[in-house]
Each structure stands twice: as C-alpha cells, then as structure tokens.
C-alpha cells in the first residue's frame, strides 16, 4: 500500500502538477491511487461511469471508439506525462470512449467522488484544478480538429 | 554549396527510367539514369520532369546527394502529368530540367540539433537532407525525425524509417491520423510528437515539409516551445512553368518559389503564410 506522502510525490513528478502549491497537491493526494496496467487491459469502456481520472507516469494507452462487430477505431494514443478521463467533470459522468492499454502503463489516478466532495468545499482548489484541465482539453480539441481536416488527403 | 542547372535551363535532357518502384497505392518512385557525369544536386532542390505529350511538373529530388549516379524522384499521382509519369515503365524516357531552387540549411545546421518534421509525401523532399545529415552525423547535435501520415497504409519509406529508428544516434517518431487496432504505433497529429522529442529549442534547426496547413500547425507548436522563426525552414509549393524566375507563375508575395525557394526560412515568409489565398 502506497502512503499518501508517496502519492503526493508521484503527483508532484507529473507535469500536470508543475507549480501547484504543496497544500493543494496534498489535498488531492488524499483521493489518489497508484496503479499499473498490462498490455490489452481495458481501463475504461464507453458508457461506463467515469469514477477516476488518470495521469500517465509511463507507458501508453489508446483512446478508441467501439464499433459493433468490429475492432475499435483508435482516435488518439497518449503517453508519459499525458492525462485522460475528464468525463468525471461533466454530467452524466460517463466515459465517452474506450481506453485500452498498448504497453505496460503506470498511472496515478484520482477518485472522482472524493475529488468532487473536496472541490465543493474548497473552491480555490477547484479553480486551480479546472485551470489546469482547460489547456489540456483545448490542446486535445485543437489536435482533433487538425485530424478532421484530413490534411494528407488528395485535394 | 552549389548545384545549378547544366546547359540551357529551358531544354530538357532525356533520361531513361532505370528503376520504377511502387511506394503506396498512389505514390511511386522512379530512378533515372543521368549517364556517366551523374547528377549533382543539393538537398531540397527540385527538377522539372516532362512527360512528353502531356506536360511538365516540378518534383523534388528525393535520393541521396552522395549518390549522384542515380536521380531519384518519389511522386504522388494527383493529376494529368503525375498520372502519365505513373504509367511509365523501366526504359521509358523522361525530360529533365534542373536542378533548381534553394536547399535545406544542412550547412548552417552543423553544430546544432536538427529536427525534421514531415507530413505525407513531404518526407520525399526531406530525404536528401536526412541522408546528408546521417552521412555527416558527427557534425550535428541531437537528430530528430518526426513523421505524420494519414493512416498506417500511407506511411512512405517505411523500411527506411525503421532503419533510421534502429540507429542509436537518431530519434524517429511516427504517427498517423487514423488507425485500427492492428496498428501498435502512435495515433494523433504530427505536432503532438514535438513535445516529447527532447531537443534544445534554442539551438536547433527545424526543416518542415508537408501540406501547408500541417506546416502552419507545426510552426505554431514550435513557436510555443521557443524555437525562433529564423531557425525554422519550410518548403513551399506553387504551380510552375519556367522554373528559372522568368514567367512569374510561381509568385508568392515578392518571391518566386522556383528561384528564391522552394526552401524558405520561416522568418522570411511569415507574413505571406498568413495571407489567405496567396
Ligand atoms: C518545388 C516543388 C516540389 C515538389 N515536389 C514533389 C514531389 O517530390 N513529389 C510529388 O509527388 N509532388 C511534388 N510536387 C507537387 C507536384 O508538382 C504536383 O503534384 C504536380 O504539379 C501536379 O501536376 P499534375 O499535372 O499531375 O496535376 P494537375 O492536373 O495539375 O492537378 C490535379 C489535382 O492536383 C492538385 N494539385 C496540383 N498541384 C498540387 C500540389 N503541389 N500539391 C497538392 N495538390 C496539387 C490540383 O489542385 C488538382 O486538384 C512539388 C511541387 C513543387 C512546387
Ligand atoms: S516558374 Fe516561372 S518564375 Fe517561377
């Protein structure tokens, strides 16, 4: 069992938490868990409750859309230093795609209910966390839009 | 460094196809025999290839500059002339004018990190620069090759990418925009590879070639991590006729792409890239 101090250290090493004050990070560490997944593991499936969100320490995962009777279509792969699973912030708190592990992956995850409780009490911490999520979301949206341009297709 | 068109730059020289190779569903490579004299060129330069009876198109030279005995072009079949070239076989003759244009800054890049960012067929014009750097590897710092394609089936020069990746002195990362589960590599836009390539943004030269929109996205990302405009080079494409700066066909603002380009420093053309419809 990894103690909260150990989890705080793991969070501090992740780029998402760069520059966050110690007290805020320690509060978040109270909702954290250290996890490791093997190749092929499904961390999440579309439609399931989004109970955790994840910070990749090492490894890689694929975000996939599931198509009945067919293998998943990969939308994006994520790697060391990336974050996934912000469905926990948006009702109805369900995963909107599958997450499949493509190489041995170590993550630190935060439990959503625990987190929502803490953020309700501590608005400043909520603001801090949301301000960090927004650039990540904006960057992903920008990338997805670039993919939509299908820029390598024959014009 | 210099490599200029030989005799009369408007008269094509006849060369026969010695090798024809299919690369992808719509892309092929032809190797032309330039005869005993060989064909010297600088990485980034292009030739005008003439398919007799159909027309002439600018195509970058994509072979190794250290091997002038073979003139290599990789071509995507997109229209009348490239389609005619795609139908040619070994022994058929092509008219060649060139080499024309500016080159990748492989000399200026000595002593710094070098980052190559290629998209789609854009890897072909960059391959001579890659070959040159690998031949002279000790003169450069960290060497990074980032490549983006539409899907795994559209990855150009797959064998070579694997070979470059196998070297201990070169970092190669490849991504595709769309893939099924049988693809074990990256999925996402090529700009996402930049952040983890681990080069020194203040001491690096970046060479980019691909669709104009991909080059714009890449430049934006590079600017954000602190690469200066002067250290970014792009290869521009415009329709061409004379290729020697006479007809004005390839005009791009105050520049002629055939003569002042196709390789430009971004600092030189920044304002033009932002003008819509130019
Ligand atoms: C300096 C330079 C270097 C080039 N190097 C290469 C190379 O190494 N390999 C290669 O395959 N091509 C290269 N090109 C692009 C190539 O010249 C064009 O694809 C070619 O001129 C198209 O001629 P076409 O008669 O086959 O098609 P066209 O009949 O003229 O056009 C057919 C269709 O293709 C589109 N098209 C035309 N030109 C381009 C273009 N440049 N890019 C994308 N779509 C285009 C047109 O809009 C049209 O829809 C280069 C262009 C330049 C300016
Ligand atoms: S093609 Fe004639 S000026 Fe460039």
The proportion of chain A whose per-residue pLDDT surpasses 90, expressed as a percent, equals 76
Nearest ligand, measured from the Cα of B237: 1
- For every residue of B84-119, DSSP letters joined together read HHHT--TT-EEEEEEEES----TTTTTTSEEEEEEE
**CB B116, CB B144: distance < 8 Å:** yes
Across the range A3-17, mean pLDDT stands at 87
Return left, alpha or beta for B188; rule: phi > 0 is left, psi -120 to 50 is alpha, else beta.
Answer: left
- Dihedral of alpha carbons A19, A24, A29, A31, sign: negative
Tell me whether the omega of the peptide bond preceding residue B262 falls within 30 degrees of 0, making it cis: yes
Q: Where are the domains of chain B?
A: 3-100, 113-273
Q: Which of B177, B183, B211 sits opposite A147 (nearest CB)?
A: B177
- Measure A104 CA to nearest chain B CA, in Å: 13
pLDDT in tens, chain B (278 residues): 555 556 788 889 999 999 999 999 999 999 999 999 899 999 999 999 999 999 999 999 999 999 999 999 999 999 999 999 999 999 999 999 999 999 999 999 999 999 999 999 999 999 999 999 999 999 999 999 999 999 999 999 999 999 999 999 999 999 999 999 889 999 999 999 999 999 999 999 999 999 999 999 999 999 999 999 999 999 998 889 999 999 999 998 889 999 999 999 999 988 887 776 66
Name the CA dihedral angle for B129, B131, B134, B135, rounded to a multiple of 10 degrees: -110
Closest listed residue to residue B57, CA positions, set B72, B79, B41:
B79
Contact yes or no for A146 and B191 at CB 8 A? yes
Q: Look at phi and psi of residue A115 and say left if phi exceeds 0, alpha if psi is from -120 to 50, else beta.
A: alpha
Measured from the CA of B54, which atom of ligand 1 is nearest? 25
Domains detected in chain A: 2-148 (2.60.120.10)
CATH of B113-273, one of 3.40.50.970, 3.40.718.10, 3.40.50.720, 3.40.50.80: 3.40.50.80
Q: Which residue has the tokens 């996890």?
A: A35
**A7 vs A70: which has the higher pLDDT:** A7
B119 → closest Cβ in A74, A80, A151: A151
Question: Which CATH architecture fits B3-100?
Answer: Beta Barrel (2.40)
Output the CA angle B46-B48-B53, nearest 5 degrees.
160
pLDDT band (50, 70, 90) for residue A69? confident
Distance B4 CA to ligand 1 centre (A): 22
Between A71 and A3, the higher pLDDT residue: A71
DSSP per-residue codes, chain B: ------S-TTSPEEEEEEEEEEEETTEEEEEEE--TT-----TT-EEEEEETTTEEEEEE--S-TT-TTSEEEEEE--SHHHHHHHT--TT-EEEEEEEES----TTTTTTSEEEEEEEGGGHHHHHHHHHHHHHTGGGSS-EEEEEEESSGGG-TTHHHHHHHHHSTT-EEEEEES-EETT--SEES-GGGGGGGS---TTSEEEEEES-HHHHHHHHHHHHHTT--GGGEEEE-----SSSSSSS-TTEETTEETTTT-SEEEHHHHHHHHTSTT-
- Number of other CB atoms surrounding residue B243 within 10 Å: 26
Rounded to 5 degrees, φ, ψ at A44 are -150, 155
Indicate if ligand 2 lies below 6 Å from the C-beta of B48. Answer: no
Per-residue pLDDT at A87: 85
The DSSP secondary-structure symbol of A85 reads: -
Of the residues A15, A151, A153, the best mutation for testing chain B's interface (the one with the most B CB atoms within 10 Å of its CB) is A151
What is the Cα–Cα distance from B177 to B190, expressed in whole angstroms? 8
Q: Give A-chain residues touching B119 at CB under 8 angstroms.
A: 151-152
- Residue showing tokens 């925009």: B177
Residue A72 in this model has a pLDDT that exceeds 90:
no
- In this prediction, residue A122 carries a pLDDT of 93
Residue B139: count of CB within 10 angstroms of its CB:
15
pLDDT of A67 over the 80 cut: no
CA distances (Å), origin A51, targets A29, A67, A94, A97, B41: 16, 23, 8, 14, 60
| Closest CB from B180, B181, B211 relative to A151 | B211
- For residues B22 and B41, give the distance between their C-alpha atoms in angstroms, rounded to a whole number: 24
Confidence (pTM): 0.92
What are residue A23's phi and psi, to 5 degrees?
A: -65, -45
Q: Same CATH topology for B3-100 and B113-273?
A: no
How far is it, in rounded angstroms, from Cα B3 to Cα B47?
12
Segment B244-274, tens digit of pLDDT: 999 999 998 889 999 999 999 999 988 887 7
| CB-based contact B234:B209 (threshold 8 Å) | yes
Q: Residue B62 corresponds to which tokens in the numbers above? A: 């994509």
CB contact under 8 A, A147 and B26: no
Specify the 3-state DSSP secondary structure of A48: coil
């Amino acid at each position: 069992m990894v103690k909260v101090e150990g989890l705080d250290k793991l969070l501090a090493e992740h780029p998402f938490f760069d520059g966050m004050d110690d007290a805020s990070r320690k509060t978040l560490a109270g909702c954290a868990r250290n996890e490791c997944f093997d190749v092929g593991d499904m961390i999440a499936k579309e439609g399931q409750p989004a109970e955790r969100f994840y910070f990749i320490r090492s490894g890689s995962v694929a975000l996939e859309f599931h198509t009945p009777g067919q293998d998943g279509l990969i939308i994006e792969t994520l790697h060391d230093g990336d974050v996934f699973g912000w469905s926990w912030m948006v009702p109805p708190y369900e995963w909107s795609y599958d997450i499949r592990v493509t190489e041995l992956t170590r993550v630190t995850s935060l439990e959503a209910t625990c987190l929502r409780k803490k953020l309700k009490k501590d608005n400043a911490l909520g603001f801090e966390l949301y301000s960090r999520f927004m650039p990540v979301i904006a960057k992903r949206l920008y990338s997805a839009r670039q993919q939509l341009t299908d820029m390598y297709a024959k014009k | 460094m210099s490599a200029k068109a030989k005799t009369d730059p408007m008269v094509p020289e006849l060369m026969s196809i010695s090798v024809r190779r299919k690369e992808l569903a719509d892309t092929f490579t032809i190797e032309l025999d330039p005869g005993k004299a060989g064909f010297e060129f600088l990485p980034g330069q292009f030739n005008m290839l003439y398919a007799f009876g159909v027309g002439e198109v600018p195509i970058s030279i994509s072979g190794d500059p250290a091997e002038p005995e073979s003139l290599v072009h990789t071509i995507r079949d997109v229209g009348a002339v490239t389609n005619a070239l795609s139908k040619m076989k070994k022994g058929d003759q092509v008219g060649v004018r060139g080499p024309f244009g500016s080159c990748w800054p492989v000399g200026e890049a000595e002593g710094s990190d070098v980052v190559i960012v290629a998209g789609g067929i854009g890897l072909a014009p960059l391959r001579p620069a890659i070959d040159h750097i690998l031949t002279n590897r000790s003169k450069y710092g960290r060497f990074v090759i980032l490549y983006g394609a539409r899907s795994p089936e559209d990855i150009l020069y797959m064998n070579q990418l694997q070979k470059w990746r196998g070297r201990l002195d070169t970092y190669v990362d490849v991504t595709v925009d769309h893939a099924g589960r049988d693809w074990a590599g990256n999925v996402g836009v090529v700009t996402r590879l930049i952040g983890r390539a681990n080069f020194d943004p203040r001491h690096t030269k970046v060479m980019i070639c691909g669709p104009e929109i991909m080059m714009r996205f890449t430049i934006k990302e590079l600017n954000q991590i602190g690469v200066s405009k002067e250290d970014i080079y792009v290869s521009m494409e415009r329709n061409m006729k004379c290729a020697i700066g006479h007809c004005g066909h390839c005009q791009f603002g105050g520049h002629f792409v055939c003569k002042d380009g196709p390789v430009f420093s971004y600092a030189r053309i920044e304002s033009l890239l932002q003008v819509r419809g130019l």
